[in-house]
Amino acid sequence: MIDSHCHLADDAFVDDLEEVTDRAKAAGLKSALCILDSTNPVEATRFRRVVEAWPSVRCATGVHPHQAGQYRDREDDVQSAVARAIAELPQACAVGEIGLDYHYDFAPRELQQEVFRRQVRLAREQALPVVIHTREADADTVAILLCGGCRPGAAGVGSRVLCVLFRDRHLPAGRGNPGGGETGPG
Ligand SMILES: [Zn+2]
């Protein structure tokens, strides 16, 4: 069993990371997918300590909808920035968490959608799965996934992206994703 969504590189685990990973291993977890915020380099640095404590751990990185405002007026930079973050993390095996959050609306919805679309396109280009965050935005989230991040109004439907399960590019052979709860503050 693996934990498919945790935030072990979060500030919250700085004081007792090794105890947390020891407990996870003792509970039978073989690995975990640690979600990183690609706009926060500190998380990538903390993630190195997570890997030291738990070498089988893997990660996803991307621009969370809460952070979409950082790309206001520079949406063109999203794909290259996330691609760079992925390239710098040997354990990266997914783009995420990405999506839409209409509950908090920390960034304008249109900007959230554009940042999300661009990351779905990046995931398609790199043949990586996506990890989705969606809150009170189900219809728009599904619509963007179904068109593969295509531009609004684009004719036709792109190849569909419904790859929520791990592609085994970096994980040990045969390791699926049975799902699981979060370790950490979501
Ligand atoms: Zn999360």
pLDDT (tens digit per residue) in 30-65: 999 999 999 999 999 999 999 999 999 999 999 999
What average pLDDT does the structure give for the chain?
87
Domain ranges of the chain: 2-175
How far is residue 147 from each of residues 73, 102, 131, measured CA to CA in Å?
A: 24, 20, 16
Taking the centre of ligand 1 as the mean of its atom positions, its distance from the CA of residue 3, in whole angstroms, is 12
Range in 34-38, 74-78, 105-109, 145-149 with the lowest mean pLDDT: 145-149
DSSP secondary structure letters along 62-93: E--GGGGGGGTT-GGGHHHHHHHHHHT-TTEE
What is the predicted pLDDT for the residue at 154? 64
Q: Which residue has the tokens 């970096």?
A: 170
For the ranges 4-8, 40-44, 123-127, 179-183, which has the lowest average pLDDT? 179-183
At 130-166, the pLDDT tens digits run: 999 999 999 999 999 999 998 876 644 444 444 443 3
Q: Is the pLDDT of residue 181 over 70?
A: no
Q: How far is the CA of 5 from the centre of ligand 1 (A)?
A: 6
d(CA 88, ligand 1 centre) in Å? 21
Count H helices and E strands in the chain, helices first: 5, 6
2-175 CATH choice from 1.10.940.10, 2.60.40.10, 3.60.21.10, 3.20.20.140:
3.20.20.140
Q: Which residues of 40-59 are buried (b: 16+ CB within 10 A; e: fewer)?
A: eeebbebbebbbebbeebbb
Whether the per-residue pLDDT at 182 is higher than 50: the answer is no
How many Å lie between the centroid of ligand 1 and the Cα of residue 153? 30
Span from the CA of 8 to the centroid of ligand 1 (angstroms): 10
29 CA → ligand 1 middle, Å: 18
Instruction: Give the distance (Å) from ligand 1 centre to CA of residue 38.
Output: 13
